[in-house]
Amino acid sequence: MEIQFLGTGAGQPSKSRNTQAIALKLLDERNEIWLFDCGEATQHQILNTTIKPRKIKKIFITHLHGDHIFGLPGFLSSRSFQSSEEQTDLEMYGPVGLKNYVMTSLRLSGSKLGYRIIFHELENGGKIFEDDSFEVYAEPLDHTIFCLGYRVVEKNRVGELDAQGLKEAGLPFGPLFGQVKKGQVVEYKGKIFDPKDFIGQDKIGKIVTILGDTRKSNAAVRLAWGANLLVHEATYEAKESKMARNHGHSTSKQAADVAKEAGVNRLLLTHISARYVGPLVNQLASEAQEVHANAFVVRDFYEEKID
């Protein structure tokens, strides 16, 4: 599981930062990628990565401000062209109004897609997705318009079967192996094979929390509780906390406060105001690190493995 930042700026694109978009790469886990927000020119940014648009199977939108959604019509249209051999459906999650925005843009521009979009418009939080291996939760944050944060929970997986050990203990390969793997005690030729002896420890799933724009909020703490990774906006430096409040944003220190309260392992700061360039970015980072040592300000295309 990896995360890659396609846009890390706030409000408008700058020469060094595009507007918001984040790719959560679940290629090993489910051979797909989930996109969080889609600022203008996200598809151009994708061209500079190894990401294949058809691998993006879910898009989660935090809120309907332009710097988070203006890239959607272009990306959705190009995804249709680029995946001519395999048109796979796309699920989209986000605030009410998302469907209207997307469908109006596509209709007025005469854009036809070769795949279906399944919309999940959210009026509130709660569990919004679950299957065998993952769950996703959403909760409203504290911004100037309705804005969501998302918590992605990978379910724990059963540990690995010690096939060699089982064979050496006298069980032949075959259906009985499957029974042990499923946790059943198996008897074979008078001998007992207990799964406890042949299955390793459960593999603990990862928790990743990706938030939209927000003031410091308790919802953010709940969403990030015990997460391996929290992605939090840090539009301003600490001394601009009044400005942050007025515009519905956070300072890097406030983001670190949330990370600390929630007990997260790693904090990545994004959605950086264009006023912070060069050494000023280090200022944001060091203010966060005073509160939460494992914090880092990301730039466009930054990627890391989640552990």
Residues found near Zn ion in the complex (CB under 5 A): 65, 213
φ, ψ of residue 34 to 5 degrees: the values are: -110, 135
The Cα 288–Cα 296 span in angstroms is: 8
Nearer to Zn ion (CB atom), residue 73 or residue 248 = 248
- How many C-beta neighbours within 10 Å does residue 53 have? 20
Residue whose Cβ sits closest to Zn ion:
65
The Cα 42–Cα 60 span in angstroms is: 14
Nearer to Zn ion (CB atom), residue 213 or residue 257 = 213
CB of 246 to Zn ion, least distance (A): 13
Nearer to Zn ion (CB atom), residue 4 or residue 214 = 214
CB of 64 to Zn ion, least distance (A): 9
**162 in catalytic set:** no
CB of 104 to Zn ion, least distance (A): 20
| Rg (the chain; Cα; Å) | 22
Q: Which residue is catalytic, options 28, 37, 67, 131?
A: 67
3-state SS, residue 93: strand
Residue 190 Cα distances to 46, 155, 171, 184, 186, angstroms: 59, 36, 11, 16, 10
Q: Of 76, 153, 166, which Cα lies nearest the Cα of 119?
A: 76
Nearer to Zn ion (CB atom), residue 250 or residue 289 = 250
Give the DSSP H or E segment for 22.
strand 21-26
Q: Which residue bears the tokens 């308790």?
A: 218
Q: Give the type of residue at 87.
A: Q
The Cα 296–Cα 231 span in angstroms is: 10
Give the DSSP H or E segment for 192.
strand 191-193
Nearer to Zn ion (CB atom), residue 154 or residue 213 = 213
Name the residues annotated as catalytic. Answer: 67
